[in-house]
Amino acid sequence: MNFFKIKPKLITSFLGTALVPLFFVAYLSYDRIDHALKTDAFKQLETAQQQKVVQLHALFEKVKSDAVVFSRLPFIADLIREFDNVCENATEQGLSGTRFFQDAAYTKLHDNWVNFFSDFISTRDYYDVYLFAPNTGRVLFSISQEDDFGSDLQDENHILATTWQKMQERRELVISDLQPYAPSADMPAMFIVAPVFDQGHFVGSIGLQILNSDINLIMQERSGMGTTGEVYLVGQDNLMRSDSYLNPADYAVEASFQGTVEENGVDTKATQAALVGESRSEIITDYKGQAVLSVYSPFNLNSDVVWAVIGEISLAEVNIPILEMRQMAVLVVGVFVILIAIAAFFVSQKIAHPIQRITEVAQGIAKGDLEHEIKIRRKDEIGALADAFRFTIKTLSDKADVANQIALGNLDMQVEAASEKDKLGKAMVKMKSSIQSMAADVDKLTTAAAHGELGIRADETAHSGDFAAIVKGMNSTIDAIVQPLNYAASYVEKIARGDIPEPITKNFAGEFNVLKANLNESIATINYLMENVKNLVDDSMHGRLNAQADCGTLHGAWFDLIGGINALATSFREYINRMPNPIFTIDKDRKIQFANEAARSLLDKTNNEITGQHCFDHFKTSDCNTERCASVCAMKSGELEKGNTDAHPNGLDMFIDYHAVPLKDLDGEVVGVFEVITDRTAITLASRIAEKQA
């Protein structure tokens, strides 16, 4: 007959009971921490990128303000007229460009003002300052006096000329894109040109050349960038508008304009989206062909010029702590799988092997073979079962010997009465008939037992006297043996398939009560084990990470199993303890259930001092006890919630980002929150300082 043996059943049951919760908790923890760490990395990168956007706005607002103030200086209109007149006279003499200095009037006027303009560009941080004639755009004055000095911008097509031409057309302040500038050997340059009016009349214009280093100084500031992070600018031509920090040789502004988009520019999903006005945070492939976390948005310099502001950090760098956690989890889970498998094998071996041997003996008894010897000697339920079978074999063997003696006696002899008065003969015949009748019943019971039909009994009413008592005794003996065995077999079968029954309450006689007691003790041990595992899982899902299963009175492999589960819980708790971010869990009443070392250090409290205390009594944020609280929102929505606010733990003044992950029980009901805090005090204060300076 084909059947699933008990040993594989036991191993499968032990492994399933231990490993399914282990793998589930490990996977769920890894997934949530992975998501939280990536969200935190995006948040830091977005903060750095937005800070640089604010600083760029401040820089160009300062440039525009300088240009407007410069164009409205009370003497600037007369100075442009005066330079225009002396340049016109010098031109009539055949002079141009730097040859203007051959004219004494120009030289004198230049020398009177050159120190003023030099001080201006030095103190206000510009490369050059220009004065332009009103109609031709002639460069009347320049500190650097490059090839553009003295030229008429109306006849040129370089970036300064086109910027002046737009100003001339619109009669308003115009700021250019960063482009190669031919008069400066095609070095990238950027200009702002502002009109000059005198009592409402246009009399000329002034220009400033913006230093590229001012832009690079903003973009290459490294706060929150890690090792592989950078924020850079890309123009509408997909060429760089700021130098790359990670590859300045190939992706600097100068190298970008001298090269190609394919080799020295950036044409990625981030640039394409940002240059059409989209702002987003996502994982993409960067210009180096690597997977990165990317935060991008457009920067509208004016109606004509749009740059892409792109902040990126390598996904590999972000994944370093995640990979370390995964490796540790795989190692720990692997060790526990091996230990649990070994324990399951040996426990199942100790249970299954003697049962298999007793089963072989039982099958032999069912076939009438009483020659088997059971050598199992144990002080447990299996030992009691072995003793019971030894007793059964001995009892049946004795009965077989008696039957043999009877069979070898007078039953083979012909017994007849000598006469009508031969009372002894008649008695012998009657005895033979009674013995034959009893033998027939014995044969009936033996045959039924040999076929496994243990429910068949002999009719004791067909006999009288001691023969009836013998038949009745045989029936009672079979009942006494079969009933406990049936109970034991049904209970062992239920336990083997994971259906733990209630304790046996029926009373049995003698040694069968020992079997019952041992089975009941086994049921109690398994129930105790299951209850402890269930309680530990429930504590973990409620965020009570300090909880441990109680080994109680368990011994041997059961004690090792609970100890192993406790060790896993401790390892997971210690991993969270070693995380640098403050982490804690709360229940639905916002009472703290667990806090890692970073959180306890921040609060300067021990675990016992804060466990069971309300979180808002310790962290004291502006979101506490409001609808803005991410933890309250997470318990309502059942989803990850995040927020940023000020906090005042232990008398400190901080600005924080915090993420709240809902904790759910096995029924999917929210029972608390797992909260991770990120300190952004330094970034917030730096941003506020930058805004004040702007």
Q: What is the DSSP string of 353-367?
A: HHHHHHHHHHHHHHT
- Whether residue 89 sits in one domain with residue 183: yes
Q: What is the pLDDT of residue 444?
A: 77
Is 339 a member of any domain? no
Q: Domain ends where: 464, 499, 534?
A: 499
Q: What is the pLDDT of residue 418?
A: 67
Amino acid, single-letter form, for residue 659: H
- Whether residue 486 sits in one domain with residue 381: yes
Q: What is the pLDDT of residue 543?
A: 72
Digit-coded pLDDT (tens) for 373-385: 787 888 788 888 8
Q: Please report, in angstroms and rounded to a whole number, the separation of the first and last CA atoms in the chain.
A: 89
Q: Domain ends where: 448, 472, 499?
A: 499
Specify whether the CB–CB gap between 191 and 207 falls below 8 A: yes
Q: What is the pLDDT of residue 389?
A: 75
pTM: 0.48
Identify the CA nearest to 31 among candidates 23, 19, 21. Answer: 23
Digit-coded pLDDT (tens) for 152-172: 999 999 999 999 999 999 999
Specify whether the CB–CB gap between 276 and 30 falls below 8 A: no
| Residue 344 pLDDT class (50, 70, 90 cuts) | confident
Dihedral sign for Cα 445, 446, 451, 453, please.
Answer: positive
**CA dist 190 → 53, 67, 120, 172, 253 (Å):** 18, 13, 18, 17, 12
Digit-coded pLDDT (tens) for 551-603: 777 778 888 888 888 888 888 889 899 999 999 999 999 999 999 999 999 99
The CA distance from 641 to 372, in Å, is: 70
Is 320 a member of any domain? no
Specify whether the CB–CB gap between 625 and 642 falls below 8 A: no
Digit-coded pLDDT (tens) for 480-519: 667 676 767 787 778 878 788 888 887 777 777 777 788 7
For 156, residues 6+ apart whose C-beta sits below 8 A from its C-beta are: 148
Decide: helix, strand or coil at residue 73: coil
Residue 532: exposed, middle, or buried by beta-carbon count in 10 A (0-12, 13-18, 19+)? Answer: buried
The CA distance from 65 to 70, in Å, is: 8
Question: Taking the C-alpha atoms of 235, 239, 243 and 247 in order, what is their torsion angle to the nearest 10 degrees?
Answer: 140
Q: Domain ends where: 182, 213, 244?
A: 213
| Residue 110 pLDDT class (50, 70, 90 cuts) | very high
Digit-coded pLDDT (tens) for 17-44: 867 876 666 566 656 776 787 798 899 9
- Whether residue 193 sits in one domain with residue 76: yes
Residue 670: exposed, middle, or buried by beta-carbon count in 10 A (0-12, 13-18, 19+)? Answer: middle
The CA distance from 150 to 130, in Å, is: 11
Q: What is the pLDDT of residue 436?
A: 75
CATH at residue 426: 1.20.120
Which of the pair, 307 or 482, is modelled with greater confidence? 307
- What number is the average pLDDT over the span 626-645? 93
Which of the pair, 405 or 573, is modelled with greater confidence? 573
CATH at residue 98: 3.30.450.20
The answer for 224, left when phi > 0, alpha when psi is -120 to 50, beta otherwise, is: left
Residue 224, φ and ψ in degrees, nearest 5: 75, 15
What is the DSSP secondary structure assignment for residue 227, as one 8-state letter? T
- Whether residue 207 sits in one domain with residue 78: yes
Around 377, how many Cα atoms within 13 Å sit in the side-chain half-sphere?
Answer: 1
Q: What is the pLDDT of residue 464?
A: 80
- Whether residue 495 sits in one domain with residue 371: yes
Digit-coded pLDDT (tens) for 385-404: 888 877 888 776 766 665 56
- What number is the average pLDDT over the span 276-304? 94
In 125-268, where does DSSP find H-type helix? 159-170, 212-219, 248-251, 253-258, 261-264
61-70, 185-194, 301-310, 438-447: least confidently modelled range: 438-447
Does position 549 have pLDDT exceeding 90, yes or no? Answer: no
| Residue 406 pLDDT class (50, 70, 90 cuts) | low
- Whether residue 203 sits in one domain with residue 77: yes
Digit-coded pLDDT (tens) for 54-86: 999 999 999 999 999 999 999 999 999 999 999
- What number is the average pLDDT over the span 528-545? 80
Domain that residue 159 falls in: 72-213
For 630, residues 6+ apart whose C-beta sits below 8 A from its C-beta are: 623, 641, 642, 643, 658, 659, 660, 675
Is 101 a member of any domain? yes
Is 301 a member of any domain? no
- Whether residue 494 sits in one domain with residue 406: yes
Task: Name the domain count of the chain.
Answer: 3
Is 511 a member of any domain? no
219-228, 272-281, 519-528: least confidently modelled range: 519-528
Radius of gyration of the chain (CA): 48
Which of the pair, 299 or 436, is modelled with greater confidence? 299
Digit-coded pLDDT (tens) for 620-633: 999 999 999 999 99
Is 117 a member of any domain? yes
What is the DSSP secondary structure assignment for residue 59, as one 8-state letter? H
**CA dist 144 → 200, 401, 498 (Å):** 31, 130, 90
Q: What is the pLDDT of residue 401?
A: 64
What is the DSSP secondary structure assignment for residue 103, as one 8-state letter? S
The CA distance from 165 to 142, in Å, is: 18
Q: What is the pLDDT of residue 473?
A: 78
**CA dist 490 → 153, 327, 362, 504, 551 (Å):** 104, 45, 16, 11, 28
The CA distance from 313 to 226, in Å, is: 8
Does position 251 have pLDDT exceeding 90, yes or no? Answer: yes
- What number is the average pLDDT over the span 454-465? 81
461-487 CB burial, b ≥16 within 10 A, e <16: eebeeebbebbeebbeebeebeebbeb
What is the pLDDT of the chain when averaged over all its residues? 86
The CA distance from 193 to 172, in Å, is: 8
By residue count, the chain amounts to: 694
Does position 2 have pLDDT exceeding 60, yes or no? Answer: no
Is 316 a member of any domain? no
111-115, 340-344, 684-688, 689-693: least confidently modelled range: 340-344
| Residue 654 pLDDT class (50, 70, 90 cuts) | very high
Q: What is the pLDDT of residue 174?
A: 97
Is 65 a member of any domain? no
Does position 300 have pLDDT exceeding 80, yes or no? Answer: yes
- Whether residue 495 sits in one domain with residue 584: no
- What number is the average pLDDT over the span 126-148? 95
Q: What is the DSSP string of 469-518?
A: HHHHHHHHHHHHHHHHHHHHHHHHHHHHTT-PPPPP-----THHHHHHHH
